Structure 1
Amino acid sequence: MKNLKIYWLIMLESIFLISCQKPEIQPEQFLPETNLNAKIVRAQRTTNNVSFDVPDQQILDENNAEVLFRNQISGWDNGFASVQSKKLKVTMPKNHHLSNTNSDPFDDGLRCRINVPERDGYELQFDVIFQSNFSFSGGGKVGFGFVVGKGVSGLDTTAIREMQGGSFRVVWDLQNGNHYLCPYVYYQDMVNENGRDFINHRFPLEARKRYTIRLRIESNTTGDNTDGYAKMEISTNYGNTFQTVWEKSDIRWSGNDDPFFRHIRQFYFQNFRGGRGTQYDGDRGDQSVYFDHVKWKPFRRR
């Protein structure tokens, strides 16, 4: 009996000692590995490739567009966009431009914003083709671009005056009887009021030709620093080689210290005839522009 009591005392002591020991940490439990995986997931969410490899269809509203772009969209103009032959087609009505007083002032094409994760730098790339016999007229906005802070569009420069943002878009422009693709930029220290400071940096434009446009942006680090960056490149051989159209490494996108007004949280998607006067009207019926291979990713130069 005494031996049995001693046996149980030894067993209870062993159980107590084992229960007090710290469990061994397995490799997959280490926090650095978990954090690394989380960072990878977050980085993937800022990278996107939009495919139009879907059946032909009308893009009727924001909900349809959000499914296509897999991102939240605001301001989609209904009735202008469709998917045709695995490309995004945007159609502009005949004799409609931004200031046509005989129609809704926005009844001239498509404009919206695409939400993306907030960053201080992005690279954005897309293909664009103007239809055969396109009536370029005086010019207009085309394709995708960057919203800096609150953004600037439609000649409303309130964000510039109040140091709350800027924008970097692409236009087609008429110069000396020829048409070109050019940067269209609103920023803190701009000289002109209409985004045309760098309009003479240009690339020849033709109908039916495929252009791959690549834009890069990086915000200035503080409201006072002129260390922001912008670059516009174009390729005519499916992105194999690019030609620099415009590059600037000392731009102040916003004069605000608050990152909310300096960073990029949205992209523009705009395609419409722009300008004041009937010289911007298209005169050959409805005109279409096609987009393909849209993609973006984080960009950091510094």
Structure 2
Amino acid sequence: MSALEAMTPQPSAEVTGEAGVGPWHAAWRRLRRNPAGIVGAVIVLAFVLVAVLAPLLAPYRPATSEWFGQVTPTSVPGPSDEHPLGLDSFGSDLLTQLVYGARSSLVIGVVSTAVGLAAGALLGVLAGGIGGRVDTIVMRIVDVLLSIPALLLAVSVAALLGRSSLSIMLAISAAQVPIFARLLRASLLAQRGQDYVVALKSLGLRQRRIVVGHMLPNSLGPVLVQATLTLATAVIEVAALSFLGLGDPDPAVAEWGRMLVTAQDRLDQAPHLALYPGLAIAITALGFTLLGEALREALDPRSSR
């Protein structure tokens, strides 16, 4: 063991709950024993597989309205051998729309969360790593963003940029930036007074190397958990923005939120048109929430006692 490693605090067997096992390995073991985490992981994995394999799973192309003649003002065809879930109001296969809607939600949710995490992490590192006047300026900007409700901020950004998938990604990520910034800043501030940081400073290491090479890796646990939980919120916000008419105007792009909008006029005739996309949104958000909570418990050293 090097002198630097000797000065860095290592989790004890009491904290990790596993003698001779690293904290990440112990967290993985606790996660595997968490039933809620397993259920969440299965839901998330199923969601990802459906989104990735959409062209193979969907029986038809998205937004294909060749069966529009079967839709009447008073009825919408239900499940059949040709269409397992029936048709929607535009004569498209409902199962196909649901499958491709999963792809849209996954892409927009993951990209928006990644952008929000990157921008928030940058602000958090500047505030918590440098401190001083930089911390004051950055946190005042974050406070202004936090004073605006997340959905209202997302709606404002999406309305300003126009209707497109890119605008939804930027809108959702803008609402997530202050969350990640404050969380990472708090984690970095908690690391400042640790013995290993004092030891690194006494060895003459530069502040930038200490922050990026040592403090930041030890502060990422809560941020990664929050990113998983934020994915659940992102899926709901994608549907909400599409429901408000701020989604991609291209009818060939299937979105769960748009499916809810088009189902409003048919609720008395075909309530399943709103039931299926609503369940898809709820189950997907539940999966990310369960997985995120399980990760939080697994990474919390106190949960092993």
User: Counting strand residues as a fraction of each chain, which structure ranks higher?
Assistant: 1
TM-score by length of 1: 0.23
User: Larger Rg: 1 or 2?
Assistant: 1
Greater helix proportion: 2
